[in-house]
Each structure stands twice: as structure tokens, then as C-alpha cells.
Amino acid sequence: MSKITMAQGAGGERMQEFIREFVLKELEHDFGDIPLGALDDAAVVDGIVFTTDSYTVKPLFFPGGDIGTLAVAGTVNDVSVMGAAPIALSCGMILEEGFSESDLHRIMSSLNRTSRSAGVRIVTGDTKVVEIGAVDELFINTSGIGRRSTHLDANLERVRAAREFLWNWPNDSGVADGDVLIVSGSIGNHGVALLSFREGYGFETEVRTDAAPLNHLTESAVKVGGVVAMKDPTRGGLSNLLNEWAEKSKVGLVVREEDIPIDGPVMAACEMLGIDPLEVGNEGKVVLAVVPDAAEEVLKAIRKTPEGSNARIVGRASKDVEGVLLETQTGGKRLVEPPVGDPVPRIC
């Protein structure tokens, strides 16, 4: 009898198969403007952007953040990348009996701090306590709602001035030939910080999580206009994100390795551990696809935000290639395959 494996929840190819088998086959998935079946960062129903995420990170506290930081940032970001302004969050907690009260105070204060920095309040919640062993210390689920950015219509007008665009929202299927790809900052920090801290490799003194709400950054981009898609490279990293866009948008993507920002200690850790930084999860980064004539302006706008100061143009969409093509530092070319699973489990 087949049983569920870790890889099926790890954000890569195995999870895509899992979703086809258990979600798309079992649930109705065509309701809404952006329905469940679109498998986007959030759904859009009656003009309301709606998303949910569960946080099972291990350990709960790590360099630069904790499960509370993630639980707010992750959900705010999934609402924001739809071109929406997040309004409010829910927070459901499942606690293991015996959990430390002082640790819970720390996590609650971090939930509050992060939600204040995003300007998005937690307005409803639920708490369950289960017996020892029934859950690993603490799991949190947050859901978020958002409303269409007031700049989104003008943003899409700028897209349509450049080319045909059929959707009413930025989304994973909207990328087309010539669109410019922007990454908002250095990648790999969250996964490497977690792994290093957990396993004691020593990189944790230099590498901290990037977890942060990005609603101000995405809004600054939408305000410029010309944004056709945004997505946060969480589980499966940049590699998974680009493959998802290429597949859903039916267009090739070309990225230049030398332009992808990766911090020195993150690169060193990845080389030592034999993992690909493109496959490592991030919690405070976004990738944007923008029509060519708006790209430099969008880049400039997001660089003015604290989370986007290191943003770069890393490539473009091209109908002349299939899948995701990486132009390497040495002048070669290699196909970026979607990761099978996440090289670092339980990072979010």
C-alpha cells in the first residue's frame, strides 16, 4: 500500500504529482477568477484574494527569525504577489502539551511585530493543544485576505499597451516572450540559515533568514506598472518558480547565472553541502516578470524599498527556448530541471 512521503510535501515535482492526484482529481477546482485549479499563490473569489499556509518549521527559532515571522510573512507574501493589498490574517495554532509558555510569548510577540511591519492585523484565530507526540512542539496555520491594489488596473493597462494580456490579475500563466525577469535580492539565505543552524555547520553566524513581508515592495512595483506576474521563491527555490512559470505560461525562460544574486557565505555553504542554491527556499524574496519597457523603472522602484535594495534583472522569457535555460558563468548553457523535492526539509 502506497504511503505519503516527505517529498510529496516538499514543493518540487513530487508535490506537483501529489496535487494532481489528491487535489485536482478529488476536489472541484474551477471556482473563482483565479481558481484552486490555477495552483497560484492565492485564489481570487468575488474580487477577494484568499490564501492559506501551514508552518511546521524545525526548529521554531533560528537565525534572524522564528515560526511567528514566517507565519505572517509567508501568507502576506502569497496575497501580495497577486497584485493585492493584504487586509487581515487568521492564525490557528496547534500546540504540543508541555510547550514552554515563555517560548510562546516570544512567538506571539514576533507574530505581532511582523504583522505590524506589514501593516496587516491578525483578526481571528484558534488554538488547540494536543498530547505529547501528537504534534512536534507547535504548528501554525495562517490564512490571509487581500483586496485588489488600487494601482492594478493601471498596471495591467501598461502591460496591454505593450502586448496582449488576457487576465485581470498578475498570475503564473501570464508570462510571455520578451518579458524581463527581476529577482528582488539574494537567494538561498533562508534555507541555508535553517539547515546550518539545525545541523551545526557553522554558517549560521553569517547567514540569517530573509523572512519578511513584501507587500510594500510588490505595491511599489505595481504602482510603476507593467508587472505581468509575481511569485515568491519559497520551497523548491528559484528553480521551481521558473519551471512553474515556464510550464504554466508555455514559454521558455533564460536566466544568466552571473546576474543571480547569491551571498558569499550562502554559496560556500551550498558548495560544501552539495546543494543547488537555486533549489533552496526563500521567505523574503519575490521574482517579477515585467514587460520590457517598464523593467528598468520597476527595478528602480523596488530597489528603493529595504527588502529590494539588492534587486537585479536576471533574465527574460523567450519563445526560442524550451523550459528554463541557465547561461552559466563559464559561458555554457544548461537546462534547469524542476527540483524533485526540497533539499532542505521543514524550513517553513
- Quick one: 40 or 204, whose CB is closer to Mg ion? 40
- Quick one: 176 or 348, whose CB is closer to Mg ion? 348
Shortest Cβ distance from residue 59 to Mg ion (Å)? 23
- Quick one: 41 or 257, whose CB is closer to Mg ion? 41
Q: Which residue is nearest to Mg ion (CB)?
A: 41
CA distance 132 to 122: 28
- Quick one: 232 or 257, whose CB is closer to Mg ion? 232
Could you tell me how far CA 128 lies from the centroid of its own chain? 27
43-45 and 252-256 as β-strands: parallel, antiparallel, unpaired?
unpaired
Element (H, E) at 230: strand 227-231
Shortest Cβ distance from residue 336 to Mg ion (Å)? 19
Entry field: residues in the chain: 348
Shortest Cβ distance from residue 91 to Mg ion (Å)? 18
- Quick one: 66 or 232, whose CB is closer to Mg ion? 232
Q: The C-alpha cell of 325 is what?
A: 535555460
- Quick one: 73 or 91, whose CB is closer to Mg ion? 73
Name beta bridge partners: 231.
287
CA nearest 115: which of 100, 130, 125?
Answer: 125
Shortest Cβ distance from residue 231 to Mg ion (Å)? 6
CA distance 25 to 5: 19
Shortest Cβ distance from residue 228 to Mg ion (Å)? 16
Residues that bind Mg ion (CB under 5 A): 41, 78, 232
Q: Which residues of 164-173 are buried (b: 16+ CB within 10 A; e: fewer)?
A: ebeeebbbbb
Cβ atoms within 10 A of the Cβ of 12, count?
A: 24
Shortest Cβ distance from residue 184 to Mg ion (Å)? 13
CA distance 219 to 169: 14
